[in-house]
């Protein structure tokens, strides 16, 4: 009888401690993290490109990154397929919205390109 009472007391104490720690919202043993706080949702254009409001900031980003301008003989417009050689594509940062496209500068114009087909999807004027 005495062992049963001791076991019951130990169980109640253990459960009480766990509930008390949870109620105090105490977390033990978690490493600090680097979290990103988004204050405004980032809008993505309906076509998957960069939203109109984001374009000036994106153009400024491209200038500060000093992305080289590639010269091609083709006319630069939506739907144009760029040649396989000589043009490098870069990832669009998340702060400008999630997009499946990459960007580059061709003939002085910043464009979004579908990397698999190399088709220009958006010309950012």
- In tens digits, the chain (125 residues) has pLDDT values of 566 655 556 655 655 555 444 444 444 444 444 444 443 444 445 456 888 888 899 999 999 999 999 998 888 999 999 988 888 999 999 888 888 999 999 999 999 999 999 999 999 87
Q: How far is 82 from 69, CA to CA, in rounded Å?
A: 14
Instruction: Tell whether 14 is covered by a domain.
Output: no
Contact 114, 100 (CB under 8 A): yes
Q: Is the dihedral of CA 79, 84, 87, 90 positive or negative?
A: positive
Instruction: Tell whether 33 is covered by a domain.
Output: no
**Domain total of the chain:** 1
For 101, the domain range is: 52-124
* Cα 99–Cα 104–Cα 110 angle in degrees, nearest 5: 90
Instruction: Tell whether 86 is covered by a domain.
Output: yes
Instruction: Tell whether 102 is covered by a domain.
Output: yes
pTM above 0.75, yes or no: no
* Strand pairing report for 102-106 and 109-114: antiparallel
Contact 58, 49 (CB under 8 A): no
């Amino acid at each position: 009888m005495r062992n049963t009472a001791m076991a019951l007391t130990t169980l109640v104490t253990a459960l009480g401690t766990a509930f008390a720690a949870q109620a105090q919202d105490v977390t033990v043993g978690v490493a600090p993290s680097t979290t990103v706080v988004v204050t405004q949702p980032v809008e993505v254009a309906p076509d998957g490109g960069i939203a109109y409001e984001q374009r000036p900031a994106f153009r400024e980003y491209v200038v500060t990154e000093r992305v080289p301008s590639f010269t091609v003989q083709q006319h630069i417009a939506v739907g144009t397929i760029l040649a396989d050689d000589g043009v490098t594509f870069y990832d669009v940062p998340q702060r400008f919205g999630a997009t499946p496209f990459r960007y580059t500068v061709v003939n002085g114009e910043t464009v979004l390109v579908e990397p698999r087909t190399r088709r220009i999807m958006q010309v950012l004027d």
